[in-house]
Amino acid sequence: MLIWALAATAAAIISIILLILCRRQIRKIIRQLDFLKNNQTNLRLTSDLPLPEFNDLIDSVNDVLDREKENRRETQKEEAQLRETVTNLSHDIRTPLTSLDGYFQLLSTSGSEEEHRKYTAIIQSRIASLKDMLEELFTYARLQDAGYEMDLERTDFAGCAFDTTFSFYDEFQKKGIEPQIDFCEGHLFILGNAEAIRRAMQNMIKNALVHGSSSISLTLGEKDGIAFFRCSNNTEHPEEIDISQVFTRFYKADSARTHTSAGLGLSIAGGLVERMGGEIHADLEGNTFMVEIRFPLERPQQNPS
């Protein structure tokens, strides 16, 4: 009986000691959480008790805190990108607007018919630039919508390339560029959206016209069941191009900054191509910049015999 009494007393004393230690540890955790809540620090919760349950609890809370820190960093990064986006948009839209204001003033004070025609043409050009920029923004915003669906059907990839290239004939003439064209013959059918394919190709060629220096090369072909369209151009400042960023929204090399673009062309091209299940790739070799889009060929269905 005495032994049982001593054992019960010892168990009670141990339980009391453990309770005191647990309460002390809980108060310590509360202090640590208060400190972490009010300070930006990489400190983690710690435990002085060799109890697996407490250690598991501490590890779980630390995991939650780590995820919260990562979410906070991502939020701060997105806020910084948003501020940069607003700044870039303000600059890109303000430039043609300021130009328009100046040319409207010149137009209003001009006394000759020739100057009237000159300033009117410039104003129309600036308005067209603004329209293109707003269209880029609208398309980009639409591509960010996870619920946006694109109708896909059997499409002639080669036909899109021919039509798009021909539509830039006047632009090539104005810049005095005769593009080197190497197109395969025949049709290249893929599963895609003709309008989106032409838009992606247009943005690739526009990028070459805006940022290229002297020559443009366009290639259309098929290899190993993959249809591809490649647009290459020479650039005067290859050191300013960051290949890892060319499909990022609002990216522009500094020397290529222009009022005619919002820096969304290649980002939109990439978004459209990926929505259709294709691939887009950029490369820089020496002073030659290249963008290529690829799609699996859609083979015709065989009629059962």
pLDDT at 190: 95
pLDDT at 257: 46
pLDDT at 85: 66
- In angstroms, the Cα distances linking 204 to 110, 156, 174, 273 are 39, 18, 18, 12
pLDDT block averages, 10 residues each, the chain of length 305: 73 78 80 79 76 79 84 81 69 73 79 80 79 74 75 94 92 87 93 93 90 85 94 84 74 51 77 92 90 89 50
- In angstroms, the Cα distances linking 79 to 6, 69, 125, 134, 139 are 65, 15, 34, 22, 22
Phi then psi for residue 190, to 5 deg, are -135, 170
Architecture of domain 74-143: Orthogonal Bundle (1.10)
pLDDT at 127: 82
Running DSSP on this structure, what letter comes out for residue 49? S
Q: How is the chain split into domains, by residue range?
A: 2-73, 74-143, 153-296
* Domain 153-296 class, CATH top level: alpha beta
pTM tops 0.95: no
Q: Is the distance from CB of 130 to CB of 92 less than 8 angstroms?
A: no
- Find how far residue 113's CA is from the centre of its chain: 46
pLDDT at 256: 44
